[in-house]
Amino acid sequence: MSDINKDVHKHDLLGGRLCLDFANTVSWHDSSEKSQEWLTSYENLVNWSLHADILKKQQALSLLKKAENRPSEAKKVLQQAVELRESIYHIFSLVSNDDTPNAKDLAILNTAIGNAYGKMQVVPDENKFSLEFLNCEELDGMLPPIVQSAIEILTSEKELSRVKKCEGYPCGWLFFDTSRNRSRRWCSMADCGNRAKAKRFYHNKNNNS
């Protein structure tokens, strides 16, 4: 029986927003040769969703069990998730560079928004109302919160202006820059930041010798 896969838990969530972390489920996302897909199975999608706190452990286990009995539906959800992930990645990559997203990617996101809104409801929450996602037990129950996260950023100029792409080419990871003067350049200082520093050191050393 499928179980919680520990591997996916090793991956850092550096995006700072759920939809950006989802967009980062490919290593070296900006490279056609080097890129490495993480969502290679429905199990990985569920495990990542657990890792990203979209699903609780019990929900994840229940989805994995259901997927065993409905493999073709699970496969379809995986394809749908990857397609949505790529559209989110392309949209935010272009926006981070002050370019306009293409119509095809927006159409994919808009279809997902239609599906997601059908699974949301507002419920009383202390002094206001909050959005609750229904049907978490459906195989695609992890997608609406991701879509919601994308909508939140896209519809706010302030939020949108903080979306950036890592300068460590071909990393391509997206992140939400919360630094006061918006000076963050890399997905992670420990990874791409250090690589850039080492490269600079190497060049300086060679130029000086």
Token reading at 108: 């994919």
Q: Restricting to residues 91-150, name those near Zn ion by CB under 5 A.
A: none
Burial class (CB in 10 A: 0-12, 13-18, 19+), 103: exposed
Residue 192 contacts Zn ion per CB under 5 A: yes
Size of the site for Zn ion (CB under 5 A): 6
Q: Give CA 36 to chain center in angstroms.
A: 14
- Least separation in angstroms between CB 190 and Zn ion: 10
Alpha-carbon distance 182 to 154, whole Å?
Answer: 18
Instruction: Report the DSSP pairing between strands 26-27 and 36-37.
Output: antiparallel
Token reading at 131: 């959005």
Q: What angle do CA 47, 75, 58 make, to 5 degrees?
A: 35
Segment near Zn ion (CB under 5 A); pick from 10-18, 51-59, 115-123, 172-180 = 172-180
Select 14 or 78, whichever has its Cβ closest to Zn ion. 14
- Three-state DSSP state, 136: coil
Of the candidate residues 168, 174, 176, 184, the single one contacting Zn ion (CB under 5 A): 168
Select 64 or 187, whichever has its Cβ closest to Zn ion. 187
Diameter of the chain measured on Cα atoms: 68
Q: What angle do CA 151, 154, 156 make, to 5 degrees?
A: 105
Segment near Zn ion (CB under 5 A); pick from 39-47, 58-66, 104-112, 186-194 = 186-194
Residue 14 contacts Zn ion per CB under 5 A: no
Alpha-carbon distance 18 to 175, whole Å?
Answer: 10
Select 2 or 16, whichever has its Cβ closest to Zn ion. 16
Segment near Zn ion (CB under 5 A); pick from 25-33, 93-101, 136-144, 166-174 = 166-174
Residue 187 contacts Zn ion per CB under 5 A: yes
Residue 171 contacts Zn ion per CB under 5 A: yes
Token reading at 45: 């999608």
Of the candidate residues 64, 147, 150, 166, the single one contacting Zn ion (CB under 5 A): 166
Select 15 or 168, whichever has its Cβ closest to Zn ion. 168
Residue 174 contacts Zn ion per CB under 5 A: no
Residues near Zn ion, by CB under 5 A = 166, 168, 171, 173, 187, 192
